[in-house]
Structure 1
Amino acid sequence: MQNNTPYTLHCSSSECAARRGQVTTRQGTIQTPVFMPVGTQATVKAVTPENLYEMNAEIILGNTYHLFIRPGHKLIERFGGLHNFMNWKGSILTDSGGFQIFSLKDLATITEEGAAFRSHLDGSKLFLSPEDAVQVQQSLGSDIMMCLDTCIPYPATKDEVINSTNLTTRWAKRCRDAHTKREQLLFGIIQGGMHEELRKMHAEQLIDIGFDGYAIGGLSVGEEPQVMYDMTEATTPHMPKEYARYLMGVGTPQDLIEGVWRGIDMFDCVMPTRNARNGYLFTSTGRVVIKNSRYRDDMLPLDENCTCYTCRNYSRAYLRHLFVSREILSYHLNTIHNLHYYLNLMAGVRKSIEEDNFAQFRKDFYGRLECK
């Protein structure tokens, strides 16, 4: 394990495994626990960087697979990296592309060497090795890079899980060896399926290799939420306390609360942005389906407890009108609100951990949902 770590622990909850800290990248500090908006193709869909700054977003995601295919990492490198290309001044985490390749199913072949796959755009043959994944991310210039891993389907036999997890370990070593730009952090990804002993084994293997942070992968892939919570709770005790803990691809507001309870520092998910474009909006009292006729002449803001630009300026009736009329502004205003909700929720989580009353915060969170 490395001696230096970009994670600083400020305080821990006396009630559970929740912790308050920060991650330092070359772009600055990220206060944790944190939700990271997903900007798959060098954009967080439907909003501008300025919108994200107003919400106090400190870090966003980019996707290695998509940017590798279009517009190409070498083009982005000529612009000085993703930050310059998309005019984002905060930190950027890029995932390795492993999950996207896994989702291609019949279009991908996984071997010891890496992943051979066909582009979802034009069917052209492409290949990504662990070394390629690191090189692409170094060209993109992200602040936090992820090792290439092999995603495990759910359900899977134990032998399948063991073989896939062992391959991820071997790939992780190759990623570590290929990591030459040390100012860019590199996180390892813990696999192991739904088996506690394999999660523990894999965490120990990755810690032995040594990374700048550690992620839990292979969850939120179809299992019941309680299974995801149980596997998270079984894994975090084996992740070093002095390093950031990242739960990949998760999730609902409830998932964030439960992840923090179990010791997670970092989250990402397309849910707030994708749901916004589909008219599903998160509020302090639960989800609002804005197309419903009950909002046709509703003069109230979407969430009376929300201070986002959308809620300060527009009624539910107007938001419904935009959505049913398929106006582009609907995507913009809805996305501003949903991302603000997520980021504001995490700000409340951080404050409650500082004050050592996260258990009450969690209870109140569920209480507001039940009162709707």
Structure 2
Amino acid sequence: MFRKGRNALKFEIIARDPTTRARAGLLHTAHGVIETPAFMPVGTAGSVKGMTQDDLERLGVQILLGNTYHLYLRPGHETVEAAGGLHRFMAWPHPILTDSGGFQVMSLKGLGRVTEDGVEFRSHLDGSSHFLSPERAVEIQLALGADIIMALDECVEYPSSYETTRRATQLTGRWARRAKDYYERTGIRGSGFGVRGERARDSGFGTRDSENAGSTSSVKRSQEASPRNPNPEPRIPVLFGIVQGGIDRALRRESVEQILDIGFQGYALGGLSVGEPKGETYDVTEYTAELLPWERPRYLMGVGTPSDLVECVAHGIDLFDCVMPTRNARNACVFTSEGRLAIKSARYARDEAPLDPACRCPVCRRYSRAYIRHLFQAGEMLAAVLATQHNLHFYLDTMWNIRQAVLSGDLVSLLRRVRTGSSKVSHT
């Protein structure tokens, strides 16, 4: 729930990898500290499918992503606001990021139309008509009350023509300014916000010691807070801008210049992992991240596989989200240190090994491949629950290993193992 007050975001860079652009940091929000780089499980409708909030805390989840489009349509942002905001509504006292809803709207083939004013679309639930403008997207997200909210952008599919991509890139810039203006008109003047004319600079490349470095995870530190007791000190969400431009370097630079001229507290890279070749994903991520201010958090939207996480952290990315660990789990595909397993395959019918012998998650400590395959074959709900728990653990453990490699100054060794195929990524 939005309440005017103090802006709560602070980003500390506590270590820099000497051979890559990777960094480890602490992202301070109103609901806790996020140790970066970090992976955000996707809680589309206010929940991660198959997981309770207790499950997520035990796994070490630091921050969740909520989907504005789905929460707007059901149960409605007014309902969430009346319940005290998304944190109280879903009993999650830790950080939350909400997207703008634009990607989902634009993914509705035949149900959405983009104009200068915003996006007209029909609900996939009942066919009702709706309109999402940059201002409306911010308004809805303020009502939801996440810690980090996103400006509305237009994401084009791959492949798209240069003219289509250019038009969407420029529209994203105009929408970003409208979103920022509306955000400021609501009375938000948070400390450090409203920075104009930012330009990427490397003055912060040196590591900075922090008494919080190596401390207990932010999830454990913040568990004393109750989701039923609102924070007595008003804290306001922070607004991130989104860079578009497809795979065109010139358009990416143009988009960065537009977004930096407006000024945001964090920056997201959108429009990737939409079907382009993997090499293009990495190249565009590297190119774009180098144009962004070193001292601001960077969020790569919708990416990706465990190996993607390693590659893109090396390019200086701090936050990730992806449906892959949860969606794949529901479709009987699990991630392991030796690659993916299609667990419904007949080859696992009598396999008494855990999903991943190198994994320490509760699922691998207790259940066999044969049993989990049986659950999928029998249509048991527990199958997807166990696979989801394992996949999320794998992603979170992968990210923990990446962060430790950055802190120790040796990400290049992990990167080399991933590129040679000897790690998928490893558990340590």
- TM value normalised by structure 2: 0.84
- Does 2:367 align with 1:363? no
Aligned residue identity for 1:208: D
- Does 2:69 align with 1:65? yes
Partner of 2:86: 82
Question: What's the CA shift for 1:288?
Answer: 1.0
Kept in 2: contact 1:5–1:242 (CA 8 A) = no
Counterpart Cα distance in 2 of 1:305 and 1:363: 20
Aligned residue identity for 1:311: C
* Structure 1 vs Structure 2 CA RMSD: 1.6
Question: What's the CA shift for 1:363?
Answer: 2.3
Instruction: For residues 293-334 of structure 1, give each alpha carbon's deviation from its aligned partner in whole angstroms, at most 9, with x where no partner exists.
Output: 121111111111111111111111111111111100001111
Q: 1:4 to 1:341 in 2, by over 3 A?
A: closer
Aligned to 2:18, which of 6, 14, 20? 14
Question: What's the CA shift for 1:5?
Answer: 6.1
* Higher alpha-carbon deviation: 360-369 or 316-325: 360-369
Aligned to 2:129, which of 119, 125, 134? 125
Counterpart Cα distance in 2 of 1:358 and 1:66: 37
Partner of 1:42: 46
1:1-372 aligned at under 5 Å gives the runs 6-179=10-183, 180=186, 183-365=236-418, 366-369=421-424
SS at match of 2:28: strand
Question: What's the CA shift for 1:268?
Answer: 0.4
Counterpart Cα distance in 2 of 1:156 and 1:166: 15
Counterpart Cα distance in 2 of 1:272 and 1:143: 23
From the two aligned structures, give the one with the greater helix fraction: 1
Aligned residue identity for 2:134: P
Q: 1:195 to 1:351 in 2, by over 3 A?
A: same
* Higher alpha-carbon deviation: 85-94 or 157-166: 157-166
SS at match of 1:126: strand
Counterpart Cα distance in 2 of 1:353 and 1:238: 21
Kept in 2: contact 1:64–1:97 (CA 8 A) = yes
Q: 1:64 to 1:360 in 2, by over 3 A?
A: same
Question: What's the CA shift for 1:169?
Answer: 0.8
SS at match of 1:367: coil
Counterpart Cα distance in 1 of 2:345 and 2:244: 41
Counterpart Cα distance in 1 of 2:391 and 2:8: 36
Counterpart Cα distance in 1 of 2:34 and 2:312: 18
Counterpart Cα distance in 2 of 1:370 and 1:345: 6
Question: What's the CA shift for 1:362?
Answer: 2.0
Instruction: For residues 135-171 of structure 1, give each alpha carbon's deviation from its aligned partner in whole angstroms, at most 9, with x where no partner exists.
Output: 1000001110000001112222222222111111111
> Which runs of 5 or more residues in structure 1 are unaligned?
none
Identity of aligned residues (%): 51
SS at match of 1:154: coil
Kept in 1: contact 2:119–2:131 (CA 8 A) = yes
Question: What's the CA shift for 1:78?
Answer: 0.6
- TM value normalised by structure 1: 0.96
Q: 1:125 to 1:4 in 2, by over 3 A?
A: closer
Aligned residue identity for 2:38: V
Q: 1:369 to 1:145 in 2, by over 3 A?
A: closer
Q: 1:78 to 1:231 in 2, by over 3 A?
A: same
Counterpart Cα distance in 1 of 2:373 and 2:9: 47
Counterpart Cα distance in 2 of 1:66 and 1:134: 15
Question: What's the CA shift for 1:177?
Answer: 1.4
Question: What's the CA shift for 1:277?
Answer: 0.4
SS at match of 2:110: helix
Question: What's the CA shift for 1:271?
Answer: 0.2
Counterpart Cα distance in 2 of 1:354 and 1:143: 26
Aligned residue identity for 1:166: Q
Counterpart Cα distance in 1 of 2:352 and 2:238: 48
* Higher alpha-carbon deviation: 37-46 or 353-362: 353-362
Question: What's the CA shift for 1:201?
Answer: 1.6
Instruction: For residues 10-37 of structure 1, give each alpha carbon's deviation from its aligned partner in whole angstroms, at most 9, with x where no partner exists.
Output: 1111111111112111001111111100
Counterpart Cα distance in 1 of 2:265 and 2:363: 38
Kept in 1: contact 2:59–2:393 (CA 8 A) = yes
Counterpart Cα distance in 2 of 1:150 and 1:252: 24
SS at match of 1:105: coil
Kept in 1: contact 2:21–2:316 (CA 8 A) = yes
Kept in 2: contact 1:165–1:202 (CA 8 A) = yes
Counterpart Cα distance in 1 of 2:103 and 2:237: 21
Instruction: For residues 214-270 of structure 1, give each alpha carbon's deviation from its aligned partner in whole angstroms, at most 9, with x where no partner exists.
Output: 000001111111111111111011011010011000011111111111111111000
Counterpart Cα distance in 2 of 1:370 and 1:342: 9
> Which runs of 5 or more residues in structure 2 are unaligned?
1-6, 191-235
Aligned length: 369
